[in-house]
Amino acid sequence: MARALSFRHGKNELAFGLQKVDRKKLYGYVETEALDGAGRPCELSILASDGRTLVGRGGSALLMLDADGQYAPRGELRPVRETGEAVHRVPSSFDAPIALDARASVDAFLSHNIKSVYALQPPMGATELLQELRQGFIYTFPFSYRGGLDPDVGFLLANADGAPFLLLGKPTQFQFVSLAQIVEAEEDSAPEADDDSDDMDFSMM
């Protein structure tokens, strides 16, 4: 049975059922299988840095090294921000009801890259909350499915038919790209081409 996600709206705690909206279920998908000359399925391998050694599935691993190049166990690592401030782990959003006390504008919602969409099944007693969502209200909150260091931004809203949805995303990082100095176009000093060039004349064909 799918886990229920609880929200605190005013004095009410509402447990919503949720179902992930899978792109494969909406549009279908095609799997491409590669076979060798004998009809056997091919497996992905990694070409080593020597240019001739093939490493099969399970033959490679990811290790973390310290500043001296020594193996660093994951349990000894402490996540920090760029400023050196420690990053604390957040609990799963399923551990306690999510307080709906912050609203987001449409512009703020559209400034996020949405990566996951969940259809919500409202419980009895959610009429007031559903009315707000159908009026265009958007609630926002930090969300972490299993708990972790980097929670997503959650949005609770309704579609045009009034059905509630949970959308998860990250803020879009806009970067303005421009020239450091405006450069004026230089005049072309190259001599003009002769009229009797070798360009093809399509009237000859």
User: Which CATH number is 98's domain given?
Assistant: 2.40.290
In a domain, 168, yes or no: yes
In a domain, 159, yes or no: yes
Query: For position 196, what pLDDT does the model report?
Result: 55
Place 84 in a pLDDT band, splitting at 50, 70 and 90.
confident
Exposure string over 164-198, b if 16+ CB within 10 A, otherwise e: bbbbbbeeeeeeeeeeeeeeeeeeeeeeeeeeeee
Pick from 96, 205, 90, 113: which is nearest to 167 by CA? 113
Place 95 in a pLDDT band, splitting at 50, 70 and 90.
very high
Residue 121 domain boundaries: 1-21+88-174
Pick from 158, 176, 167: which is nearest to 140 by CA? 167
C-alpha–C-alpha distance, residues 42 and 56, integer Å: 11
Number of domains in the chain: 1
Q: Which residues contact 106 (CB under 8 A, 6 or more apart)?
A: 138
C-alpha–C-alpha distance, residues 166 and 98, integer Å: 12
Asked if the model's pLDDT at residue 194 lies above 80, the reply is: no
Query: For position 189, what pLDDT does the model report?
Result: 57
Determine which helix (DSSP H) or strand (DSSP E) holds 108, and give its type and residue range.
helix 106-110
- Beta-carbon neighbour count of residue 151 at 10 Å? 19
What share of the chain has pLDDT > 70, as a percent?
84
Q: Calculate mean pLDDT across residues 5-27.
A: 91
Query: For position 190, what pLDDT does the model report?
Result: 56
In a domain, 34, yes or no: no
Query: For position 66, what pLDDT does the model report?
Result: 85
In a domain, 104, yes or no: yes
User: Are 64 and 72 spatial neighbours (Cβ–Cβ below 8 Å)?
Assistant: yes
Q: Calculate mean pLDDT across residues 198-204.
A: 55
DSSP state of 131: H
Longest dimension (CA), the chain: 87
In a domain, 161, yes or no: yes
Asked if the model's pLDDT at residue 195 lies above 70, the reply is: no
Asked if the model's pLDDT at residue 75 lies above 90, the reply is: no
For 202, phi then psi, to 5°, come to: -70, -10
Q: Calculate mean pLDDT across residues 155-170.
A: 96
Query: For position 183, what pLDDT does the model report?
Result: 61
Q: Calculate mean pLDDT across residues 23-37.
A: 87
